[in-house]
């Protein structure tokens, strides 16, 4: 997997099987973002630490296991997580098990995809979305982040 260094922008090949080893940039030696090929599970208890303090944009899928449309969008979320390469992070929040966060962000329809950057909600997509639509939103946030 290729991970872009947040400090110098160098592209680094990282072995996903490295386990608990923390990869570093081959050019500048800075620690590289954690690599995960699947979305992380976010809960009410972990939301602030995981999402609001993320050092890169964060896509949060608000879903429920009984929701058919949520199951339809799941492969897209999985693919985006696998392709993130450290540029952004992807997580899933089960709204049935985590009503505090769902209420805080007024999740009244699922699936709802929330995009956070620098601890703030910057975009929201409601309903089944194509991979292209979600990627376009993420690219918009990433291009803004790169200009800053």
Sign of CA dihedral 129, 131, 132, 134: positive
- Amino acid 82: pLDDT: 83
Residue 61 has pLDDT above 60, yes or no: yes
Host domain of residue 41: 36-147
Average pLDDT estimate for 28-57: 87
- Amino acid 146: pLDDT: 64
Regarding whether 4 and 59 lie in a shared domain, the answer is no
**pLDDT, averaged across the chain:** 88
Regarding whether 97 and 30 lie in a shared domain, the answer is no
Distance between CA atoms of residues 8 and 148, nearest Å:
14
Which two tokens mark 31? 């620690």
Average pLDDT estimate for 13-39: 76
Q: How many other CB atoms sit within 10 Å of the CB of residue 30?
A: 13
Regarding whether 82 and 139 lie in a shared domain, the answer is yes
Distance between CA atoms of residues 37 and 53, nearest Å:
20
Distance between CA atoms of residues 131 and 83, nearest Å:
12
Regarding whether 101 and 70 lie in a shared domain, the answer is yes
- Amino acid 126: pLDDT: 96
Distance between first and last Cα of the chain: 26
Q: How confident is the model at residue 148 (pLDDT cuts 50, 70, 90)?
A: low
Residue 19 has pLDDT above 60, yes or no: no
Nearest in space to 73 (alpha carbons), one of 124, 24, 129, 123? 129
- Amino acid 127: pLDDT: 96
- Amino acid 1: pLDDT: 65
Which active-site residues does the annotation give?
67, 70
Regarding whether 80 and 116 lie in a shared domain, the answer is yes
Quote the pTM value.
Answer: 0.76
Domains contained in the chain, number: 2
- The per-residue pLDDT for range 66-106, each reduced to its tens digit, is 999 999 999 999 999 888 877 899 999 999 999 999 999 99
Regarding whether 124 and 54 lie in a shared domain, the answer is yes
């Amino acid at each position: 997997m290729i991970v872009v260094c947040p400090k110098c922008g160098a592209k680094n090949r990282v072995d996903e099987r490295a386990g608990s080893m923390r990869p570093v940039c081959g050019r500048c030696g800075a620690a590289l973002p954690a690599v995960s090929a699947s979305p992380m599970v976010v809960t009410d208890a972990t939301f602030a630490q995981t999402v609001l303090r993320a050092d890169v944009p964060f896509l949060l899928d608000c879903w429920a296991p009984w929701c058919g449309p949520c199951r339809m969008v799941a492969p897209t979320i999985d693919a985006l997580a696998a392709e993130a390469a450290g540029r952004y992070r992807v997580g899933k929040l089960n709204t049935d098990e985590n009503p505090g966060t769902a209420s805080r962000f007024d999740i009244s329809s699922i699936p709802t995809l929330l995009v956070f950057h620098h601890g703030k909600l910057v975009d929201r997509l409601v309903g089944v979305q194509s991979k292209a639509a979600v990627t376009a939103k993420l690219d918009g946030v990433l291009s803004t982040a790169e200009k800053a």
